[in-house]
Each structure stands twice: as structure tokens, then as C-alpha cells.
Structure 1
Amino acid sequence: MERPTFSVLINNYNYGRFVERAIDSALSQEASNVEIIVVDDGSSDQSRSVLDGYNKRVTVLFQENQGQAAAINAAVKLSSGDILCFLDADDWWAPGKLSATAAAFHSNPQASLVYHRLQPTQTDGSPAFKPIPRTLCSGNLSPRLARSAGWWPFPMTSAIAVRRSAWDAAGDIPEQFRMSADAW
């Protein structure tokens, strides 16, 4: 079996009312060789019944509540793709997200991380405020991170894609990041 190019990794905790849209947005991407893994981090809402409906199309891991970092780390361990794409269960992707991500990595084989802005929306789909982060960085981010003491316009979880080789070199997210693991 051919190794998936993309691993879409969805972390969920009590977002049963949103997770279906997140999964459907990943399933509707026009990319080949994609696996979708959802880690449910001990939800006590209707998440399990929603996730059970995806049976063979999505790999689901149910674990005791340990926080966002533990859920993301567990998803990475289950995955086999060359590119790790993260998606929070209360977010969704526009069509073409994975093909644009593939193009960005393909055009720069040295890139370890690709990210984009997110458009926060109201429940009716209208923009809540301007896209975030306000600015995008490119090139070698290491010097910028060193100068900023870690305070840079970092992307939100659902906008991040990382080469597996970069993840493996950096290691798992420290599990004290029970929330806001995207900051790591």
C-alpha cells in the first residue's frame, strides 16, 4: 500500500457539534494519498456518536483526557504521512487547502513548515474579524524566533503543516501544553 503523502490530524475535546464539519472539510480535499486521524481527548459530549459515523473513512483514537498536546502527539504517532497537517475540531478547511500546501512544499523542498492565515468566522460563516496572524513570515525562522524570545506571529493549529522529518527532529510537543499547543 502506498504511503499517504498527507496525514490530517484532528484533535477533539467536546466539540461534537463542530467535528463533523472539520472531518468533512478534510474528506472533501482534492488531494490523493491522504489519511485522516482524529484523536478524541476524553470528550463527554456527543463526539463519540459523531465520530462513530465515519467508521472506515477516518481512523479514530479515543483516549482519556490529557490535553491538546497529548492528543496531537498521539495522532502523529498513529500517522504515516510525509506531511503532517493539523486541524482543530472546531475549525474547517476551505477547498484546495491540501493542494495549496502540497504546492508550497513542492516549490521549496527545503521548507520544514508551511502555514497560512485563518479567517475567523461567525456561526453564519461571515468574517468575525481580520485573518490571523496579521503577518506571515518566510525563510529561515530560527533567527527571528531567537530575537523575539518566541513571540512571533505564529500560526494557529489549523493553519500548520510540517514535514515529518522536521517533527521527528523537534520531537513531540511537551504535554504541559494542555491548551494552545500550536504555540510550541
Structure 2
Amino acid sequence: MHPMPGRIPVSIIIPNYNYAHFLERSVDSALGQDHADVEVIVVDDKSSDGSAAIIRSYGDSIRACLRPRNGGHAAAFNTGFAASSGRIVMFLDADDYLYPDAVTRIVDAWDTTTAQVQSRLHIVDERQRVKDVFPPPELPFDDGDVMPKLLHKGRYQTTVTSGLAFDRSTLETIMPIPEADFRQGADGYLATLAPIYGQVQSIDECIGAYRIHGANHSAFGEKLAERARWRVTHDFHRLAALSDQVSGEGLTMEPGQTILHDPLHLEERLASLCADRSRHPVANDSRLALAAHGAIASLEMTASLRRRAILAAWFLSVGMLPRKMAMAVLSWKLDAASRPAFLSRFSKPIRRAMG
């Protein structure tokens, strides 16, 4: 570890679109950090719900960026970053919030080799009641040099927007984020490319809250096929961006082959194929081939043997069962609301037992 010298300025950028109901909690949490040098930038992506008035009410305590037209997640990230000056940069979703010592914990974990710090978050509902932890504690973060894992399967164990912090010079290298490809999921672009330029540090404690509610992008479980198609396409965009970036660093990868080592991608790809084959984004996919790739990829995971074996068996069952039964098994895993009562009752104990 090589500690950072002196006091470190930190920027917290809050991209907002029609989250007026949650926005004050988010902004107040950013302003309430116990670190001495924090600037708060709030980007409104042309909301229609009164968000702009809430932002203006904070006056000079924040930097307000009111976009003239809606551009999506990446556009809001790009706008906020251009207005920021911090040595460490965080993007806090407007429906999430940080605990008062979040920035201090991140700064304490930082050193001169760091490109990204990642932290766990409490999953909370609309009334801020803690429901779980993301990522689950039994899934260890990947940290240090994660490039071998990225080049092998296009993914490593990380977290979502509000649990991430980035080195400014790294962001200057990989931004602006392509706005057409990342109208949603801009954090996926950043977390995929940042590790090319430094180490990833992890904080296992929860530094804030990740809110799940009916209006946000994470909660559209009832639209299984739509969600799966989006995630499959998002993975292709991430891997194309990674391939372009590493080629400039003298490295090579084949995105189409790399992605077949990623169990999370293969889950969503199976879901897309099973739920709505006519709109599935990958021609010539077959359930059995995807399931076989998924089983092999599961056995390569960093997890207990029991967890890897159960996931491999799940993939094979989805690949070989009749379509209607396969769809039920898929839904139970990917959409908690679809699970029978007995499965929902035992899902957490089973997950913990799997280690």
C-alpha cells in the first residue's frame, strides 16, 4: 500500500431523473459526510417532477447542473464529471444515500495505485428499511489486479453505482462515456474499464444504501424478457468498450468468446432466449449450448464447491427441461417475486448455506 499524501478532495456527483421523492435524502447524505473536502454536484437530466426546484433550494451548498434535454445515465455522468474537480470521484444514484463516514472509509482505503474502490451497500425499500446486503456477504469481492479475470470472462465481482469511487486521472482516460450505448448502466462501463489503469480496493462494510423500488431500473423483475435483453446487450457494449480500450494498451481479447465464461451473462442470455425467442438479440443461440457454457463457467467461479455445483446443475436443468418448466426455474432464480412461498421462505438460509 502507498498512502495518498495530504487531504484528498472528493467529488460526489448525483445524477437525477424524476426522483424528486428520494432526492433530498440523497443530497443531504452527500452534504453530511464527515470528510473535510467534499464537493456535491447534482445533475438533473431534464426531470418533469419538480426535481429542479429541490435542487435550486440547496443554493450554493451544491453545484447544480440542469441539463436542457434528457440524455440518460451516461450523459448525466459526463455532465457531472465535467463540472467536478475532486481527486476521487463518486457517482451516487439519486434514489440511494451514503452513511456519514462513507467518504472517510473510501479515502482510508485509497493509495497511489488505486483506480477504483468498491463497497457493499445495504439494500433498502422505499421506507429505508434494510432488507439485505449487496453484493451478498458470501460473495467475496475481486480486488487488486482484476484484469486477468476481466480478460477471461469480461466481469469480476464488484458493485453498483453508489458503492463505487474512481481515481480522477483514470476517469479522464476513459470518459466521456458513450451516451448512446449507455443510456442506462453507465456504472458498468466505468467499472469495466477503470481496472485497466490501476488496482481495485474493496471495503466489505456497507457505506450506504441501495434503494430498490418500483420505479428504478433494478426492479423491473416482472418484465423478465425485457430485463434479460437489456442486460445481454449491455454486456456486449461493455465488452466492446473493454476490447477497444485494451487494444490501445497492447492487449487483445475476443469479446464473443470471453463472454461465454461469464455465468451472469449466460443466465440472462438463457432468460432472453426462453422468454421471447423472437426478440432475442443473439441469432443461432440454443438453450443446450448456453446451458453447457453456463455449467462450465459456474465451475470456474470464485465460490464454494457447493455453490458452484448447484449453479452448474441449475444451468443444465434450464438447458434440458421442457421450455415451460425451464422458464419457471429461470424465473425463480432471476425474479424473487415469482418464487413459490416455500422457496421464498428458505431462499436466504439456502443462500447462506451455499457459502
8 A contact 2:78–2:175 mirrored in 1: no
Give every structure 1 segment of 4 or more consecutive aligned residues whose post-TM-superposition deviation is greater than 6 Å. none
Distance 1:46 1:135 in 2: 40
- Per-residue deviation, residues 67-91 of structure 1 (Å, max 9, x unmatched): 0001001100011111101100000
Q: How large is the RMSD of aligned CA atoms in angstroms?
A: 1.5
1:34–1:130 CA distance, 2 compared to 1 (3 A): closer
The answer to whether residue 4 in structure 2 is matched with residue 6 in structure 1 is no
Choose from 129, 136, 142 the match for 1:126: 129
1:10-29 alignment to 2 at 5 Å? Answer: 10-29=14-33
The TM-score, its normalising length taken from structure 1, stands at: 0.92
Distance 1:130 1:61 in 2: 31
The TM-score, its normalising length taken from structure 2, stands at: 0.49
The answer to whether residue 146 in structure 2 is matched with residue 141 in structure 1 is yes
Which is higher, the Rg of structure 1 or of structure 2? 2
1:1-184 alignment to 2 at 5 Å? Answer: 5-63=9-67, 64-105=69-110, 108-132=111-135, 134-149=139-154, 151-175=155-179, 176-184=181-189
Higher relative contact order (CA 8 A, sep 6+): 1
Q: Which sections of structure 2, spanning at least 5 residues, go unmatched?
A: 1-6, 190-355
Q: Which amino acid in 2 is paired with 1:57?
A: S
Aligned-pair distance for 1:135? 3.0
Q: Which sections of structure 1, spanning at least 5 residues, go unmatched?
A: none
Identity %: 36
**When the two structures are aligned, how many residues end up with a matched partner?**
179
Aligned-partner SS, 2:13: strand
Q: Which amino acid in 1 is paired with 2:63?
A: T
Aligned-partner SS, 1:7: strand
Using the TM superposition, name which of 132-141 and 46-55 deviates more: 132-141
Aligned-partner SS, 1:169: helix
Aligned-partner SS, 1:112: strand
8 A contact 2:9–2:87 mirrored in 1: yes
Distance 2:14 2:160 in 1: 13
Aligned-pair distance for 1:127? 2.0
Distance 2:132 2:81 in 1: 31
Larger helix fraction of residues: 2
